[in-house]
Amino acid sequence: MINKRGLTVVLSGPAGSGKDTLLNEFFRLGGAAKTISATTRAPREGERDGVDYYFMSREEFEEQIANGRLLEYTEYCGNYYGTLKSEVDRICAAGLDVILKIEVEGGRAVKALLPDALLVFLLPPSAEELARRLRGRGTETEEAVCARLARAAEEIVCGRDYDYLLINDEVEKAAQELAEIIRTEKKRVSRNKEFFNEVTSHVKAVVGK
């Protein structure tokens, strides 16, 4: 069978690129699951612990680092964010594709640890749309919006090192495109070595009879 293993997919993009809406739509299509990250950021209105993030204090987060429980972590706009190894294991064990919704430094760290990971960079259709979406959220102070816009510019530069660019113009279309990218990637010859080995030994066995 072609590529039985799930893929580790990193989805990055500046704040305001629409990662959450895209992923909600993508998960409706099924077949993959998102890791729940740990963070020291305060919950936004409506966010739940263990659903949106594992919210923790700096002390608790630093304890996770010291105990080697994080696959990667970074400090972003004054808060820690990180992927727990246990989250990736939980999803892989279920045979699903793992989606890590993380910023670019984390993406780079994952690629270094797991070279097979697929890196997808999400952008809104224009810079004007990005600024509009950031302000439109209305949950952040002006200072926080400015910090995120400055960080967005830095992140976009790093997007050049990613494998795929995905434009979030219309969310249903972008979710389908993400599914298509993953399907296509799974057909890469380099990702199907086991299949080739199986077929080769089968053919050899038949010929040898």
Q: Which residues bind ligand 5GP (CB under 6 A)?
A: 15, 19, 37, 41, 72, 74, 76, 81-83, 101-103, 105-106
Nearest residue (beta carbon) to ligand 5GP = 106
> Could you tell me the smallest distance in angstroms from the CB atom of residue 18 to ligand 5GP?
11
Q: Which is nearer to ligand 5GP, 152 or 181 (CB)?
A: 152
CB of 90 to ligand 5GP, least distance (A): 14
Least distance (Å) between residue 9 CB and ligand 5GP? 13
Distance from the Cα of residue 45 to its chain's centroid: 23
List % helix, strand, coil for the chain (3-state, nearest 5). 50, 20, 30
Looking at the Cβ atoms of 9 and 102, the one nearer to ligand 5GP is 102
In this structure, are residues 118 and 10 in contact, taking their beta carbons and an 8 Å threshold? yes
Strand partners, 72: 83
Nearest CB to ligand 5GP, comparing residues 54 and 195: 54
Q: How far is the CB of 2 from ligand 5GP (least distance, A)?
A: 30
Q: Whose Cβ is closer to ligand 5GP: residue 52's or residue 129's? A: 52
Beta-carbon contacts of residue 120 (< 8 Å; ≥ 6 apart): 9, 10, 11, 12, 162, 163, 164, 165, 166, 178, 181
**How far, in whole angstroms, is CA 107 from its chain's centroid?**
8
Asked if residue 9 lies in contact with residue 117, where contact means CB atoms within 8 angstroms, the answer is: yes
Q: How far is the CB of 20 from ligand 5GP (least distance, A)?
A: 8
